[in-house]
Each structure stands twice: as structure tokens, then as C-alpha cells.
Copies of this chain bind each other. A is one copy, B any other.
Amino acid sequence: MNVEQRNRRRFLKRGAGLAGLAVAAIRSANGQTTETSTKDLRPYGERSRFEKLARALVAPNGAASQTPLQDSMGIITPSSLHFVVTRYRNNPPDIDPAQHRLMIHGMVDRPLIYSVEEIKRLPSVSRIHFLECGGNSSPRLRRNAQTVQQTHGWTSCSEWTGVQLSLLLKEAGVQKGGDWLVAEGADAGKQTKSFPMSKAMDDALVVYGQNGEAIRPDQGYPLRLLLPGWEGVANIKWLRRIKVVDQPYLTKTEITAYTQPRPGLKGKALWFDFAMGVKSVITRPSGGQTLPGPGFYEITGLAWSGQGTIRRVEISTDGGRTWKDAQLQDPIHRIAHTRFRLPWHWNGEEAMLLSRSTDDIGNVQPTLADLAKTWGTTPGFFQTAFPEHFNPIQPWKVNSDRSVRDALFS
């Protein structure tokens, strides 16, 4: 950290030198007259050609890409780096918003059809929420995983803008007994999802904005259902239809891919277990990285809960023997990534880094062993299954050779 003057000579060769301030002022006048190109002052700007940060392509069960959490900063995920999971190996639908419609029908007094422009004229809200795939950080993703992008990269956080679904439903007039809804997307596979009226009337949104502009095609352009805190697949993209019904529809994807088999339930599975648990992961230092050497580090990462607001993140550097409270970035948003930070001096010896988050309704992120107990099984089970809603404390092992490795199952 204390780099002092070692690079000073090189810097001075490149730069203006210590007495350069007066010179600079004179040169600025010249610069104004000699450089006259505006061709690259782009209407829609681009990043530096030196920046290579990218989503990682994975395809365990379709096409998907993961957010590079190891280089994440703050709480906002750039829309260009938002994770994508789709069960179909296709491009996102190429929807002309002028042609797109959202229909609300079923057990309602007044079936409604909205254009995107009509939706945008309604009272709007913007909220910062994470989206996480139900399968994020599942052991099946870790077979060849080394980095936090590969283990945990199916979570991202955006400022979403749209209308409250409750407003649309009040307009339509929900009939007695209309206790569930089925949402349908305009993708080739017509992804559908059943969800209860209580969520629709609580905090569900129909969003058209992401981080200050239109949502991206791979996030559901021009309209997406947002069920804050609920597993990604429930947040129907390219939303074109919401039907009010009396019970869940049990569509194909709901009864096969997105149930939660629990050994303790003896062959049964959890259905309609939507809300993601309390979770956290250290993004730096993290798996696959090599530390430059002993010295100062800021341990930083993200915590989130699908059920509330993060209240506390504790960090251990000794595998869980001792814990320290990390600093949380203010203001903390409900159901949003929450950035945590803790200064750490690494002495060069083996260390085990853990983070443990707690939300405002008292959920505490479990260890792998505790999670197995809750599921009525042993940790080994997780390696043979594809558990969803998998939220154990993530251990990163810092080796004396300065490498950092995933140590969840070791």
C-alpha cells in the first residue's frame, strides 16, 4: 500500500512534471483549437477497449450466462452483465414494443389489454431488487467451477421501474375465489408460472425499466413480471398474459424442474417454495484469484435475502472460530444486494474466509452441515443432487501459495 516514490521517475517521464501546472494552463488553450473531432462523442456511449469484464457462458440445462461477481462494485449490476438463465437455447425474442400487449383476464370483472405505452402512463415505482436463479450456487454448477462467477454468478441487482401489479388487478377487478395467477411470456417456449394473489397484491411489479433505461431483451424486453425475492424463473420475461385463476395451474416447468426434493420428506418435494433465503458470498478475495502477497486486503462481498432486508454480515478469516461484523453499505435496500466490507491484514499463512448474513426477520445463513440437517440429509447428498435455494455459508480457502480455492465440500 505504501508505494511511495518508487514509480516516481517513470511517472515524471510520462507526465508534465512537478512544475507543470502553469504549463498545463497554457497548453489547454492550444488544445482547444487544434483538436476538432467530435466523431466519437457517441450518442450511446461504450466502455473502454481495455475493459474485458464479461458474463461466463454455462449451459447445464439450457443456455445461461453468469455475472462476474469477482469484479462487482457497489450494489448495481450493469445491465450488460446481468445473468441470464433460459431453458431454451435460443436468442431472446425480438419484440417490437409498439406491437406488444399485456392481457389481464380470467377471474376478473373487466379483462384488460394494455400496450406498453399505456403501461408507461400509469403511476410508476422504481425499486432496487436482486434477481437470483433458484439454482444459483448449487453443487452441480461447481463441477468445474473455480471462481465466484461460476459458483454464485446467477444473481444480479438492478433498479427496476414499472407499475405495481396490484394496480392493474384493481383496474381489472379480481373476482371472489381468484386466489392465484398464471403469468405467461411471449418466448417460443411460452414460459408460465403460477403464483398466489397475496404476492401479486403485496410487492409484485410489471417492469419496463432497468437501471434507468428499457429492460434488456435477455431480461424480458419490453415487459417483465418482477416478484421481488422469488426465484428467478417465477419472474416471467416478455410478459404478455396474466390470468387470474382459482388454484395453481401446475404447468410443466413447475412440476418438473423447479420443485425441491427433500430427503427428509421421503420421496416428496416442496412445491411453490418461491422466496430465496438469506445468503452472502465474499466476492474478493474469492476462488481462482491469487493474492499478490501478505499485507492489507479489503474483504468485500454481497449479501441478500428474498424475505427482507440485510441487517448484519459477519466475517471469519479462521474458518468460523472467530467472527467480526462487516460494514454494510448505506442505504440498505429491501430484497437487494447489500455490499459489505471488512479490512483484513493477511499474514501469508493459510486462512479460511467465510461470510454469514442475517436478515431483518431473523433468518441466519446456515453452514453446509446445518443446511443438510434442515433438509433431513447429510452434506454428501448435495453433491449428488441439484439442490435449489442452496444458501450455505461459502468458504474460500487462502493457501500459503497465495491461491484462493472453493472449500465448500473440502
Contacts and interface: CB of A to CB of B under 8 A. Distances in A.
A24 B123 contact: no
Contact of A211 (B15, B25, B78): B78
Interface stretch (A46-54, A258-266, A366-374): A46-54
A190 to B, nearest CB: 3
Nearest to A67: B212
Given A35-B90, A253-B28, A7 B55 contact: no
A77 interface: yes
A4 B51 contact: no
Contact of A343 (B46, B64, B123): B123
B212 A47 contact: no
A235 interface: no
A74 interface: yes
Given A35-B88, A41-B63, A218-B41, A184 B79 contact: no
Interface stretch (A140-148, A197-205, A292-300, A355-363): A292-300
A243 B21 contact: yes
A43 B82 CA distance: 10
A5 B73 contact: no
A98 to B, nearest CB: 8
A77 B212 contact: yes
How many copies of this chain are found per oligomer? 2
B21 A182 contact: yes
A77 B45 CA distance: 12
Given A212-B72, A343-B123, A38 B55 contact: no
Interface centre among A23, A29, A51, by most chain B C-beta atoms within 10 angstroms, is A51
A368 to B, nearest CB: 29
Contacts of A11: 101, 103, 113
A115 interface: yes
A196 interface: no
B21 A189 contact: no
A70 to B, nearest CB: 12
Contacts of A241: 15-16
Given A28-B253, A63-B41, A73-B161, A35 B188 contact: yes
Nearest to A157: B212
Given A124-B73, A161-B73, A94 B49 contact: yes
Contacts of A72: 212
B45 A115 contact: no
B94 A212 contact: no
Interface string A69-92: 001111111111110100111111
A342 to B, nearest CB: 9
Given A21-B249, A73-B208, A126-B339, 17 more contacts: A3-B112, A6-B113, A8-B111, A14-B101, A15-B103, A21-B192, A21-B243, A37-B90, A38-B59, A38-B89, A43-B56, A47-B217, A48-B94, A50-B95, A73-B213, A124-B298, A331-B331
Closest 10 CB pairs of A and B: A74-B126, A24-B190, A43-B54, A35-B90, A73-B209, A28-B189, A73-B161, A25-B252, A31-B189, A331-B331
18 contacts: A1-B122, A3-B112, A3-B115, A4-B110, A11-B103, A25-B252, A28-B191, A29-B252, A31-B88, A31-B189, A35-B89, A36-B89, A40-B92, A43-B65, A45-B81, A45-B82, A72-B212, A73-B208
